């Protein structure tokens, strides 16, 4: 392991990789403090720019963009009561009251410090547990992979959405979109409706940009005529320096939040949003003065921020070692690896050790960059928040169009992204979440491939998914989730009557 860590450090500290990581964290930080533009839209727009890079540099840039948005999203939550990303929504509850009390700078500094410590804990968990998961994954066959992917899809669609039924429908739509194109077994085109441009399937970049870029612009179209979001406020200076009492009070919440985020980040369908909300609930439960929560408790900022950041790191564990993305962002990371002809899974650590351990080392380096960058740049982020909507969103639309066209130099993809954007906006308006759809789209081809391969090996026996020991336990857990969710929905319907 020491040799691997040295290899990772050498890879991450190379000049060009440091530059890619810096670009990623800087852009991610800027996007993180802009309300309504999350990591999904950011990664979708930057993905085409990584095609010409080497795989390690591309992944370092995208990873930096990912945890950069996670790092920067707390700023708007605290200052404006507007979460930059969904995982920072709970930070508004305590962060904004602190800002109104004149402690906004202190709250932002503690959020940054908590985030950095959470990343360090996540790196330690990833260092020691990734090899264990890799060893376990080597005993997996097609049946086990199918069951595990099915569990991830069911968990993501039922546990993290307000309507489990709509979540499952979103996943099914993603699965259907994922099978468009040439069937790898028969060589026949499927569901292309006579368009030869669809023989290679729908572009992952076009789908992601449409669902999370165009639809977001349409959702905020009502603000296009508005002026500045905020006016400048003084959040710097001495009021950013915490005293020993605050550090002591927040120490326990940072530790608990880091552990909660590290565990939940590994689980499919959990992610930073669930980790931050659970951390807040734990802090309120263990507090001696729970009645003060909601009025500006620093533990309600530091705990969720540590949980969110540690979950952002450990979410890479199942994606890289098992090839199973836990959420839509990890699905994009998985797609980026495949674009660069790298197959995630148990052999990745052996076949591409410099990629895995270099990425791990870059987490610490990138987050240290973020910590150093953010403290003097807080006033700059506040300036960016004063840019009117009518100037922000035309730039986003332009970048989306350029990014989609540059992927294949094809105007058809631009048309596809516009259609998907309108579809995504209508779906969100009706309560359907785009994240499960993207997850189903990425996992759909692999799910189908392992399903058919398992049936070939078992000569068409569907019971193979239940008779194999590991697959059987995973399927049992999947069925248990469906039963629990179904019972809750039936009770909710009865109570509503």
pLDDT value at 475 more than 70: yes
Question: Are 170 and 457 in contact, with CB atoms under 8 Å apart?
Answer: no
Written as one string, the DSSP assignment of 13-35 is: TSHHHHHHHHHHHHHHHHHHTST
Domain of 280, in residue numbers:
2-496
Share of the chain above pLDDT 90, in %: 1
pLDDT value at 454 more than 80: yes
CA distances in angstroms from 186 to 85, 137, 198, 230, listed in the order given: 43, 29, 17, 58
Residue 205: name the closest of 436, 407, 443 by CA.
Answer: 407
Whole-prediction pTM: 0.66
What span, in angstroms and rounded, lies between the C-alpha atoms of 408 and 411? 9
Domain count along the chain: 1
pLDDT value at 87 more than 80: no
Q: Read off the pLDDT of residues 46-70 as tens digits, 9 standing for 90 and up.
A: 777 777 788 888 888 888 888 777 7
> Using alpha carbons only, what angle is made at residue 59 by residues 28 and 174, rounded to the nearest 5 degrees?
85
Across 19-33, 126-140, 356-370, 407-421, least confident range: 126-140
What pLDDT band is residue 233 in, cutting at 50, 70 and 90? very low
- Tell me the mean pLDDT in the region 3-25: 85
Q: Read off the pLDDT of residues 168-210 as tens digits, 9 standing for 90 and up.
A: 888 888 888 888 888 767 777 788 777 777 877 887 767 877 8
The pLDDT assigned to 262 comes to 84
The pLDDT assigned to 84 comes to 53
pLDDT value at 228 more than 60: no
Q: Alpha helices, DSSP H only, in 322-410?
A: 328-339, 348-351, 353-384, 389-408
């Amino acid at each position: 392991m020491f040799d691997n860590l040295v290899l990772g450090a050498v890879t991450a500290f190379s000049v060009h990789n440091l530059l890619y990581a810096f670009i990623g964290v800087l852009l991610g930080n800027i996007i993180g403090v802009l309300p309504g533009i999350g990591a999904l839209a950011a990664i979708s727009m930057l993905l085409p720019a990584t095609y010409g890079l080497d795989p390690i540099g591309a992944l370092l840039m995208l990873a930096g963009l990912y945890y950069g948005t996670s790092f920067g999203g707390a700023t708007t939550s605290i200052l404006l009561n507007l979460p930059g990303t969904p995982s920072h929504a709970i930070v508004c509850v305590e962060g904004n009251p602190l800002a109104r009390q004149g402690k906004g700078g202190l709250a932002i500094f503690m959020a940054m410090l908590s985030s950095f410590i959470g990343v360090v804990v996540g790196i330690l968990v990833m260092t020691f547990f990734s090899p264990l998961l890799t060893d376990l994954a080597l005993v997996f066959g097609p049946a086990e992979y199918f069951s595990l992917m099915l569990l991830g899809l069911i968990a993501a669609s039922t546990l993290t959405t307000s309507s489990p039924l709509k979540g499952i429908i979103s996943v099914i739509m993603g699965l259907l979109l994922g099978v468009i194109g040439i069937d790898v077994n028969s060589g026949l085109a499927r569901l292309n409706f006579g368009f030869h441009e669809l023989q290679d399937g729908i572009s992952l970049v076009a789908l992601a940009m449409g669902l999370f870029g165009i639809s977001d612009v349409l959702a905020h179209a009502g603000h296009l005529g508005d002026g500045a979001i905020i006016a400048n406020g003084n959040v710097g200076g001495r009021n950013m320096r915490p005293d020993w009492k605050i550090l002591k009070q927040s120490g326990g919440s940072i530790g608990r939040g880091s552990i909660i985020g590290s565990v939940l980040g590994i689980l499919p369908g959990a992610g930073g949003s669930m980790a931050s909300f659970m951390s807040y609930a734990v802090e309120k439960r263990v507090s001696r003065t729970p009645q003060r929560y909601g009025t500006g408790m620093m533990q309600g900022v530091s705990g969720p921020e540590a949980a969110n950041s540690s979950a952002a790191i450990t979410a890479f564990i199942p994606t890289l070692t098992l090839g199973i993305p836990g959420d839509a962002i990890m699905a994009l990371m998985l797609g980026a690896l495949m674009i660069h002809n790298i197959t995630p899974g148990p052999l990745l650590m052996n076949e591409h050790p410099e990629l895995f351990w270099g990425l791990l080392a870059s987490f610490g380096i990138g987050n240290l960059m973020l910590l150093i960058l953010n403290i003097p740049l807080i006033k700059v982020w506040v300036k960016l928040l004063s840019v009117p909507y009518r100037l922000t969103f035309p730039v986003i639309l332009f970048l989306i169009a350029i990014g989609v066209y540059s992927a294949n130099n094809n105007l058809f993809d631009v048309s596809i992204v516009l259609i998907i954007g309108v579809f995504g906006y209508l779906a969100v308006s009706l309560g359907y979440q785009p994240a499960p759809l993207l997850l189903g789209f990425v996992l759909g081809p692999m799910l189908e491939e392992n399903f058919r391969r398992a049936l070939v090996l078992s000569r068409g026996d569907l019971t193979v998914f239940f008779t194999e020991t590991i697959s059987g336990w995973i399927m049992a857990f999947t069925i248990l989730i469906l039963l629990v969710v179904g019972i809750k929905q039936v009770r909710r319907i009865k109570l509503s009557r």
